[in-house]
Amino acid sequence: MASAPTHLMELPRKILIGDGVISSLGAFIRDIGYSASKVAFVTGNTVKRRASADCKSSFRSMSINDAWYVVVDSSIASVNKLKKSLAKDIPDIIIGFGGGRSVDVAKMTAFQLNKPFISVPTSASHDGISSPFVSIRGSKKPYSVKANTPLGVLADTTLLAEAPIRLMASGCGDLVAKITAIKDWELARDENSEYFGSYAANLAYMSAKIILNESKRLRVRSRSGIRIVVEALISAGVAACIAGSSRPCSGAEHLFSHAVEYIVGQNYGLHGERVGLGTIMMAKLHSVDWEIIVETLERVGAPTKAKQIGLNEEQLVLSLLAAQSLRPDRYTILSKVNLNKSSAFELARSVKVI
């Protein structure tokens, strides 16, 4: 077995979760111990309208100046446009304030400008809110790449509870994916002598397990349910920080999701929805109880069939066949089983995804 690699563990310095904590954002920045007089918010129009007043109010007493930048997608073009805008007045801190799109663009821009980044999610839709990884469309690599870990994470459960329930269901899909991601990591350890971090794997698995255990109550919109999901997403992101890679959070099910986006197109479900479908299929390949995963996804309102996100049988099979080729260096169950068109179709049919 290969010896453990040397890697740097960068963890968020501070995490604040609770109702109405957005009004404490100014103090949160100061409490982190970072001096800032200029802060750049990267957000969407809806979030800006909903919560910018509270942010501005929290900054007045701290003598912090804020500038707001709206992004429309999570593409490399948006990153480059934002970098050009920020070049005129470089901020001390960049804040990703919104859903996955805003957080990813802000994180990548902060990384490229060598500036600290703070994550302020307004939807519990994916684990990137606390991890160092981003998924940017139009880059050379059609999968998540490493940037920097957020300096801090502030999660206002009042704002998070206002997001569409579909986004939380997507977050649950991203969380159950840790089950098959860890199985892939174990497989890479056993068959490819890859480093395996037990602590990171167990932390990520615990984040998935709580969704399996609590799925019956998560369908009902509540602050307590939102808190369960966002804490699990943050924990999963921290597992990636500890591992020094996305291994505990991302396996063949994520490659399938990236393949759908890369091969078929961008308008086929949310990230966590695609990943959830991938998890069902990869669980079957790993001889994991895929029916429990289906039941969990159904309880939280996430898709369990390709047609629910607009995918037809041919598109799904093409995505399955292309998935491993997107990242041949990452050993997964798809590296081992080597699906063909017939076996890919049979896999999807056997778990009723098609």
pLDDT tens track for 22-70: 999 988 988 887 777 889 999 998 899 888 888 888 888 778 888 999 9
pTM for the complete prediction?
A: 0.93
How many other CB atoms sit within 10 Å of the CB of residue 268? 19
Q: Which helix (H) or strand (E) holds 41?
A: strand 38-43
Report the greatest alpha carbon distance in the chain.
Answer: 64
- Distance, CA of 231 to CA of 245 (rounded, Å): 20
Q: How far is the CA of 152 from the CAs of 15, 19, 47, 80, 129, in angstroms?
A: 6, 17, 19, 24, 10
**Considering only the top CATH level, what class is 14-162?**
alpha beta
At 219-237, the pLDDT tens digits run 766 788 999 999 999 999 9
How many other CB atoms sit within 10 Å of the CB of residue 156? 24
Structure tokens at 333: 């169950």
- Distance, CA of 198 to CA of 204 (rounded, Å): 10
**In terms of pLDDT, which residue wins out, 73 or 321?**
321
- Closest Cα to residue 76, out of 141, 147, 136? 136
At 120-170, the pLDDT tens digits run 999 999 899 999 998 888 766 667 788 989 999 999 999 999 999 999 999
CATH topology of domain 165-350: Dehydroquinate synthase-like, alpha domain (1.20.1090)
Output the pLDDT for position 151. Answer: 94
**DSSP letters for 228-262:** HHHHHHHHHHHHHHHHTSSTTT-SHHHHHHHHIII
Output the pLDDT for position 222. Answer: 78
Q: How far is the CA of 32 from the CAs of 10, 16, 62, in angstroms?
A: 15, 11, 13
At 288-306, the pLDDT tens digits run 999 999 999 999 999 999 9
Same topology between domain 14-162 and domain 165-350: no
Per-domain residue ranges of the chain: 14-162, 165-350
Output the pLDDT for position 31. Answer: 87
